[in-house]
Chain A
Amino acid sequence: MVFSSIFFIFCFLPIFMLIYYLVPGKGKDIVLIIGSLLFYAWGEPKYVILLIFSAVFNYFMGLELNDCPEESRRLNMVFTVVVNLFILGFFKYYAFLLDSIGSVFRITLSHPELSLPIGISFYTFKNLSYILDVYNDKIDPEPNFLTFCVYSMMFPHMAAGPIVRYADIEHQLVRHPVSIPKFGVGAEYFIKGLAKKVILADNLAVIYAAISSRGSNAVLTAWIGIFAYTMQIYFDFSGYSDMAIGLGKMLGFDFLKNFDYPYLSENVAEFWRRWHISLGSWFRDYIYIPLGGNRVSVPKHIRNILVVWALTGLWHGASWNFVLWGVYYGLLLLLEKFVLGNVLDSLPVFVRRIYTMFCVMIGWVFFSQTSFPGIAKYLGTMFGPAASGFADTATFYYFRTGIVLFVICIIACRPNLQNQFRKLMKRNMAVAIAIDVILLALATAFMVYNSYSPFLYQQF
């Protein structure tokens, strides 16, 4: 089930919320767990078992890490991490590994292609953060199984994050009171996220799909295409995150934000502090710092950055283009750290933002084109060698049809619109609610008209 579907919004959510609000006290947790399992089972019931196993296994191992003798703690931690990564690897990387080995040795290693359980990367990383935090004595293990299940299986952030850490919601898991004002704020977040997804992202997707599927493009057409994708992926993923945060608020939780206007960043390092914040901080805290971070020799520091970014790329998908995308960012960060740092600081803000957007848009080519020939062809078109010209009739067609959408996207990428809306909410609540109702009606119209359209990050 996806958030941006008629069934979820007008059937599942109202019924679930009604029951959730009517059931008192800890009964809400049971409703939340059952609702989460139903939500998950809607698409692929066979993987519900995996979700439940992951919760049971990590709950038990959390307690075991606390109770076992000191000498076997490390062994238990390694065992838990290996089992979690094995499950992730089995579904996500097994076929990729066999295909890669096969292509190196020029042999065919046949294998069935298993469908990827929805959200497996997100809930595996969430559970790993819990286990590692227990091992490092940052948190106490959760003694109540139901409470742990709420943390591990809660549907708002199950399918596409944010990767919520136990430490961040530990107290909320014990007590998460609901209220009408908080429900209202949550609904506002949800509608804003829904509008980002179905009104902006899904329409941008049509433009990029049309351009990238053409046999050949002019330079400007390719740039329009990748600009559309740049906006699409932001509004798709940040839309999902807004909806997850909004649903969390409706259920009485406060999740940390996952995006902080990343396209306003003035360098690539800042971009990654504003984009998919929960993933970036996960890799920082559980991979980069344990490897030594920047408190090591320069060669080891370089190694740490490249390892973290290759893994970040691989996390996104079992495909070499994602590894390339990760390494590309690793190299850019090294370049900024060791070469460009002072030069960038001396440039005007708008030049720094153009530089960052240029790097990010090139990065999305690696991300969106899944084959190396595809990447080479698209980049070749953007920079001329593979282009059919500088501009043609298609360029003007896509520019004309997309310009209104692009302008709205550029405005919505900045905080001003949201700030104005918050001021309006304080000044005139009725108008603010009317705007939300109009947005919901518009989004519903788009959902009725458009076909099934899952979130981009749900596939990871």
Chain B
Amino acid sequence: MPISKSLIIKTAMILFLAAYLVLIYTSDNAKNVPMDDIAAQMESSDTLTAMQKRDKGDLQRYYSIMDTDTDGFLFYKDVSPMSVNEMLIVKAGNKSDAEKFLEAAEAHLESQENVFGAYGTDQMALLGDASVESRGDYVWYMCGPDASAWHDAFMKLI
């Protein structure tokens, strides 16, 4: 029996769907690594610890995120108010919270761009290269000359 055109189209659509779902499934996946382990590994970088480690008060101040809503966070920010260097990694309890944290991080980036947009050429260049993303339950904001190294180190962990 010859294979009909419609069967070929249906098979192609299902194969496409399967490939797409596999891609989504794997790209959004992250290992479940405790924040303490992540902090221990990330803090082995001198470029990170050269900044000031921030607490839950600063997390709320800069990102409007309550630490009690998270499963842990690691937050470093430069002392100088003229610097845009900072790194935040937040672990959310579920995907819904992760989405909220990502929106908060995106809002922080937008706010920084508004602050430095008028005069901070160097800062704007760094903000333009900032990494604000999420994978699995993790959300991160990384900005600074060493942001890509922090990003690579973190990707290896999750």
Q: Chain A interface (Cβ within 8 Å of chain B)?
A: 46, 49-50, 53, 56-57, 60, 64, 67-68, 79, 83, 87, 90, 110, 112-116, 451-452, 459
Contact = CB atoms under 8 A, between A and B. Distances in A.
Given A68-B6, A451-B64, A112 B17 contact: no
A451 B32 contact: no
Nearest to B136: A112
B99 A115 contact: yes
B9 interface: yes
A346 to B, nearest CB: 46
Nearest 10 CB-CB pairs, A to B?
Answer: A113-B95, A112-B29, A452-B103, A115-B95, A57-B13, A64-B6, A114-B28, A112-B136, A112-B28, A49-B20
Contact of A53 (B6, B13, B27, B95): B13
Contacts of B6: 64, 67-68
Nearest to B27: A46
Given A49-B20, A68-B6, A451-B107, A112 B25 contact: yes
A60 B64 CA distance: 47
B79 interface: no
A375 to B, nearest CB: 18
A113 to B, nearest CB: 4
Given A57-B13, A60-B9, A452-B107, A110 B32 contact: yes
B24 interface: yes
A444 to B, nearest CB: 18
B1 to A, nearest CB: 13
A76 to B, nearest CB: 9
Interface size of B as a range = 20 to 34
B137 interface: yes
Interface majority SS on A: helix, strand, loop or mixed?
Answer: helix
Given A64-B6, A68-B6, A452-B103, A114 B16 contact: no
B13 A56 contact: yes
Interface string B101-143: 0010001000000000000000000000000000011000000
B61 interface: no
Contacts of B95: 113-116
B29 A83 contact: no
Given A112-B29, A113-B136, A452-B103, A83 B17 contact: yes
Contacts of A115: 28, 95, 98-99
Interface of B: 6, 9-10, 13-14, 16-17, 20-21, 24-25, 27-30, 32, 64, 94-96, 98-99, 103, 107, 136-137
13 contacts: A49-B20, A53-B16, A56-B13, A83-B14, A90-B21, A110-B32, A112-B25, A112-B28, A112-B30, A112-B136, A113-B94, A114-B95, A115-B28
Nearest to B137: A113
A67 B10 CA distance: 14
Given A57-B13, A112-B28, 11 more contacts: A46-B24, A53-B17, A83-B17, A90-B21, A110-B32, A113-B136, A114-B28, A114-B95, A115-B98, A116-B95, A452-B103
Contacts of B29: 112
Contacts of A60: 9-10, 13
Contacts of B24: 46, 114
A83 to B, nearest CB: 7
A459 B21 CA distance: 20
A53 B96 contact: no
B5 to A, nearest CB: 10
A460 to B, nearest CB: 12
A452 B108 CA distance: 12
A371 B89 CA distance: 27
Given A114-B28, A114-B95, A79 B10 contact: yes
Contacts of A90: 21
A114 B96 CA distance: 10
A116 B95 CA distance: 9
Contacts of A87: 17
Nearest to B16: A53
A202 to B, nearest CB: 15
A451 B108 CA distance: 12
Q: Determine which residue in A67, A83, A115 has the highest number of CB atoms from chain B within 10 A of its CB, and name it.
A: A115
Contacts of B9: 60
Nearest to A116: B95
A95 to B, nearest CB: 8
A251 B16 CA distance: 33
Contacts of B28: 112, 114-115
